[in-house]
Amino acid sequence: MSQSNPTGLDAFKPSEIACLVENAGVAKVRLSVLQVLVLAILAGAFIALGGAAYTMVMTGADASFGPSRLLGGVVFSLGLILVIVGGAELFTGNALMVMAAVDGKISPSELTVNWAVVYAGNFAGAAGIAGGVWLAGILDGPAGDTAATIAIAKTQLGWVEAFVRGVLCNMLVCLAVWLTIAARTVTGKILAIIWPIASFVLLGLEHSVANMFLIPQGMLAGAQIEMSAFAANLALVTLGNIVGGAGGVALTYRFAYGPGKLL
């Protein structure tokens, strides 16, 4: 596939994006486990930093709906901007690797190992930032109350709500990643990220890696949450994220724009 472009401004076509996504999946499984783990820890920390900024934006605002929540979503976009532009491994975005697996470019075992290592690294990075925010005293006062409220609300979701919100969330996250691949400039990539991510926050959807930060942060701020409730939320949201990203985006686009379908 030719990637030449005299201006460097035109976006890649959907069929070209599909090819780039598959090539990226192959490149990811060629990294060593240690490389993947380090990049995954960074991604977890990056998403957590976006979550910390979101928590502060929502302090003193009505977190239920409306413009303040949209602003929170724009601020939360910092996390994926750091992941994409800075370079890191994010579990939810790696759902797109299913495209390479379906075409036999990577094996199911390679996909599974990547997901497992990235998931563990994301958790370590996100939880580490939660601890850092707590130790820094940022959760003292109103911000801590906001963090606790956010965490409690997430763990009180019913299993259907948590799962479906996870599906819808990662459809938007993977679409954001897809759009960043279309862009040829850093500015284009940032603009591609902001609106899908702001929309998932505005709609109150559920992102597993964000919850790896937001729920522990709330617990450190004093929210009375059982570990079993945290684990249940994370399991349901993670499953939903896989379905939404791998099925709702990766396999759908692979069918529409896969090999031989030059649209």
Assign 41 a pLDDT band (cuts: 50, 70, 90): very high
* pLDDT, mean of residues 232-258: 94
Q: What is the pLDDT of residues 137-161, one digit of tens each?
A: 999 989 999 999 999 999 999 999 9
pTM given for the model: 0.92
Question: Is the model's pLDDT at 6 over the cut of 50?
Answer: no
DSSP per-residue codes, the chain: -----SSS-SPPPHHHHHHHHHHHHHHHHHS-HHHHHHHHHHHHHHHHHHHHHHHHHHTTS--SSSHHHHHHHHHHTHHHHHHHHHT---TTGGGGGHHHHHTTSS-HHHHHHHHHHHHHHHHHHHHHHHHHHHHTTTTSTHHHHHHHHHHHHHHTS-HHHHHHHHHHHHHHHHHHHHHHHH--SHHHHHHHHHHHHHHHHHTT---HHHHHHHHHHHHHTT----HHHHHHHHHHHHHHHHIIIIIIIIIHHHHHHSTT---
What mean pLDDT, rounded, does the chain reach?
92
All structural domains of the chain? 14-132+139-256 (1.20.1080.10)
Assign 64 a pLDDT band (cuts: 50, 70, 90): low
Confidence at residue 68, expressed as pLDDT on a 0 to 100 scale: 87
